[in-house]
């Protein structure tokens, strides 16, 4: 048996907006992602050149060497728009909050062996600055990138990186009983400790990149692609023998986030590489240069945390990252 509620049928004049219908090839119902993403960025008839970059229009395709017939081709496989994004992240954060409560209640970070706790302070807490650099880079892409398909996703990443920097900071506060001195020490390490200088130099060099697509590849594929598996994979695994299970619960957000973000990064780069051979060459060159850079920059940190296994760990991560890059069409 089924129930049938009678409703009045009202004739619709159209199913979706005309610009969306043109892209779908027909006037048919469109998703919320499609309606609120396509063609959102103005492309023509700008009134004034930006006083901060008068050689360009406000939004200008020539700000990257990458060329696309249609900048709305590299779409988000997750179909995130603002509402879907915040709801997804609030769910992840809810789980993280529970984990923090669990760990704090049981004082699980106090169970970490003291020598390893020192190592954690050195390898994890300064990453709040790495994340802040990643936040700046994605905000830069959002500002000067082309096409809402990409720039709305980088706006989400911008906020994600701030959120991750804040989760790392909270780990520091749990470790130092809310005194904040662990964060001050982490900043000193970021500024002066030799294990961090290669990474900081790499981040600062990325902050001044002028091609926004190179920046996208450098930050979100190469640098993150080396750093995340090292820190949240290898270092975390190393901690299991030293009582650091509680810490894994606090950094699980980053593991989940990287999995989610990589879906977008890979889809975008794959589509852009498939566009033409010049793109593929550029992307491959940028990927390799920044992955090599990251591999070298992370070496002192990997050595410090993993000892003689550090170099192998980095080589294995690089190998896996190269495989990922090949899978999305880069020449590696």
Q: Does 179 help bind other proteins (rule: CB under 8 A)?
A: yes
Establish if 2 lies at the interface with other proteins (CB under 8 A). Answer: no
Q: What is the DSSP-derived secondary structure letter of residue 231? A: I
Cβ distance to other proteins smaller for residue 207 or 237: 207
Helices (H), 145-276: 148-175, 181-192, 194-207, 212-216, 224-228, 236-239, 245-250, 252-275
Nearer Cβ to other proteins, position 21 or 320? 21
Position 295 contacts other proteins (CB under 8 A): no
Q: Is 45 left (phi over 0), alpha (psi -120 to 50) or beta?
A: left
Q: What's the closest the beta carbon of residue 46 comes to other proteins, in angstroms?
A: 6
Among 64, 152, 258, 295, binds other proteins (CB under 8 A): 152
Q: Which is nearer to other proteins, 40 or 331 (CB)?
A: 40
Q: Is 28 in the site for other proteins (CB under 8 A)?
A: no
Q: In this chain, which of 79, 166, 292, 312 binds other proteins, going by CB under 8 A?
A: 166
- Residue 151 touches other proteins, criterion: CB under 8 A: yes
Cβ closer to other proteins: 43 or 118?
A: 43
Check binding of 45 to other proteins (CB under 8 A): yes
Q: Kindly state the tokens that stand for 89.
A: 């992240």
User: By C-alpha distance, which of 248, 247, 266 is closest to 258?
Assistant: 266
Q: Tell which one of 2, 4, 6, 277 touches other proteins (CB under 8 A).
A: 6
User: How many of the other CB atoms lie within 10 Å of CB of 25?
Assistant: 7
Distance CA(77)–CA(93), nearest Å, equals 22
User: What 3-state class would DSSP assign to 273?
Assistant: helix
Which residues 92-131 are close enough to bind other proteins by CB under 8 A?
A: 93-94, 96-97, 104-107, 110, 128-129, 131
Q: Supply the angle between the helices 252-275 and 277-297 in degrees, to the nearest 10.
A: 150
């Amino acid at each position: 048996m089924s129930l049938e509620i009678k409703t009045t049928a009202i004739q619709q004049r159209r199913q979706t907006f005309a610009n969306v219908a043109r892209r779908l090839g027909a006037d048919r119902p469109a998703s919320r992602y499609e309606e609120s993403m396509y063609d959102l960025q103005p492309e023509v008839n700008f009134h004034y050149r930006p006083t901060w970059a008068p050689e360009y229009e406000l939004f200008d395709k020539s700000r990257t060497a990458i060329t696309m017939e249609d900048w709305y081709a590299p779409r988000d496989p997750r179909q995130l728009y603002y509402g879907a994004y915040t709801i997804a992240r609030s769910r992840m954060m809810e789980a993280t909050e529970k984990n923090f409560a669990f760990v704090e209640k049981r004082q699980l970070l106090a169970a970490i062996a003291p020598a390893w706790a020192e190592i954690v302070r050195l390898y994890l807490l300064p990453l709040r600055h790495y994340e802040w650099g990643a936040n700046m880079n994605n905000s830069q892409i959002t500002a000067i990138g082309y096409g809402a398909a990409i720039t709305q996703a980088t706006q989400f990443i911008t906020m994600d990186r701030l959120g991750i920097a804040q989760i790392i900071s909270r780990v520091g506060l749990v470790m130092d009983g809310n005194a904040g001195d662990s964060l001050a020490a982490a900043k000193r390490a970021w500024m002066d400790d030799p294990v961090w200088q290669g990474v900081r130099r790499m981040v600062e060099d990325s902050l001044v990149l002028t091609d926004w697509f190179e920046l996208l590849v450098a930050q979100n594929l190469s640098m993150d692609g080396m750093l995340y598996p090292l820190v949240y994979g290898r270092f975390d695994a190393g901690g299991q023998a030293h009582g650091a299970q509680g810490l894994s619960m606090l950094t699980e957000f980053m593991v989940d986030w990287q999995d989610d973000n990589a879906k977008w990064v890979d889809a975008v780069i794959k589509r852009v590489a498939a566009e033409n051979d010049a793109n593929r060459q550029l992307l491959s060159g940028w990927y390799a240069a920044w992955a090599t850079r990251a591999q070298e920059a992370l070496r002192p940190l990997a050595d410090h945390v993993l000892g003689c296994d550090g170099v192998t760990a980095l080589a294995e991560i690089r190998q896996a990252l190269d495989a990922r890059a090949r899978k999305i069409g880069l020449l590696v």
